[in-house]
Structure 1
C-alpha cells in the first residue's frame, strides 16, 4: 500500500513537472512525451529491481540509469541546459517513486523539493534581463574591445561576455555568442556605418602632343 502511494505521488509530481511547469513555459510538445516516458520507464525498472532485492539491485539500477543518461547525452537534437535539468528531474522523480522505504514522507518531500527548485530556478521573472544570443555580424571584427563596443551599440545593452564562434575575413562576417543584460525600455540600434576615409581623386597628367 505504501509503495502504491509512492507510485501515485510520482505520477502526480511528473504531471506537475510536465504540464504545469515545463510545457506552459517552453511549449515543446516532443519533450513532453520524452519526460513522461523517462519517468515512467525509470519508475517501472527501478520498482522491479527494488522488488527483486539482493546485491544485484544496486548494480542493475546503476546500469539502467547509465543507459538513460547515455540516451540523453547522445541525442542528435540539441538540448538547452534547462531541458536537460527537466530530464534529470523526471528521472529523479521516477527513482524516488520506485524506491522501497519505510519513510514514504521523505520521498514525497524530496519530490516536492525538486518541483519547488524547478519552479523557482526556471521562473520567467528570475534574472529575466540577462539574455544570451548567437548573432551573425555583417562585418569581421578581430579586435575584442572593438567587438564588444559594436555589440553594445547594436543591442543597446551592456555586454557581459562574448565568445567568437567564427571569424570570416573573406566574407566579412563574425559569428558570436553574446551574453548581455538588457536595459528596460532600450531598443536595438542599427549598426554604426563603417568609417570611410575621404580620398583625393587622382587627376591624370596631361599628355603633351
Structure 2
C-alpha cells in the first residue's frame, strides 16, 4: 500500500479517535490539540526516519522520552493516558509499510474498536472512584467503610486512607465503590428535582 494512503488512513483514524470518541465523551478541549499534535508529529518523524539512514528505533525512542516528559508535566487521568498512547500508536503505524497491505489499517482499526468499547460510558458505569475528605478522624477501617457506604449510598470495594489529621479531625480517603442502578436512578431524579 502506498505510504501516502497509509498517512491518509492515519489522519482519518486519529480524527475518529479524537473527534468521534474522546471529545464527545470527555469534553476536554486542551487534550484535543495534544492528541492531534502527538499523532501528526510521530507520523511525520517516523515517516522521515523510515526512509533515512538514521535508525527508526532512535527516533521512536526519542518520542518515547518526550511522551514521558509530557505525561509528567500535567496530571492526566488513566483514560486520557490511554487516548494519548493510542494517538502515538496510530502515528507509528502510519509510516509502516512492511507486511501485507491490510495489516496497518487493520491494526489502526483494532485500536479504534478497543478504545470505543473500553471507554464506552455504559461499560462498568456503576463503578466509581473518588477521593473524599471526611470531617472526622476515623482510624478503624471497618468503621471507615461503614461510614463511606452510608455517605455514598453504595457498596465500597476498597478504601485507602491517604491521610488522617487528628488535630483538625479529618480523614482523606480514596474510595472505590459501586452503586446499584436503582439507587443511581433515584439520586439522578433527586438531583433533577433540585436543579429545577
TM-score computed with the length of structure 2 as normaliser:
0.90
Please tell me whether residue 143 in structure 1 is matched to residue 140 in structure 2: yes
Select 1:58's aligned residue among 46, 56, 59: 56
* Alpha-carbon distance, 1:154 to partner: 1.1
Please tell me whether residue 91 in structure 1 is matched to residue 88 in structure 2: yes
What is the match of residue 47 of structure 1? 47
Whichever of the two has the greater Rg, that structure is 1
What is the match of residue 190 of structure 2? none
What is the match of residue 193 of structure 1? none
CA distance in 2, matches of 1:116, 1:59: 27
What is the match of residue 162 of structure 2? 165
Per the alignment, in what secondary structure is the counterpart of residue 160 of structure 2? strand
Q: 94-103 or 82-91: which moved more?
A: 94-103
Long gaps (5+) in structure 1: 189-209
Higher helix fraction (1 or 2): 2
Select 2:71's aligned residue among 58, 73, 77: 73
* Alpha-carbon distance, 1:103 to partner: 2.2
- Cα contact 1:156–1:183 (8 A) shared by 2: no
- The one-character-per-residue Cα deviations of 1:89-141 (angstroms, maximum 9, x if unpaired) are 00000000012325231000000000000000000000000001111111110
Matches within 5 A, 1:166-185: 166-185=163-182
What is the match of residue 35 of structure 2? 35
Select 2:98's aligned residue among 96, 101, 116: 101
CA distance in 1, matches of 2:99, 2:165: 63
Alignment size in residue pairs: 185
Long gaps (5+) in structure 2: 188-196
CA distance in 2, matches of 1:134, 1:182: 16
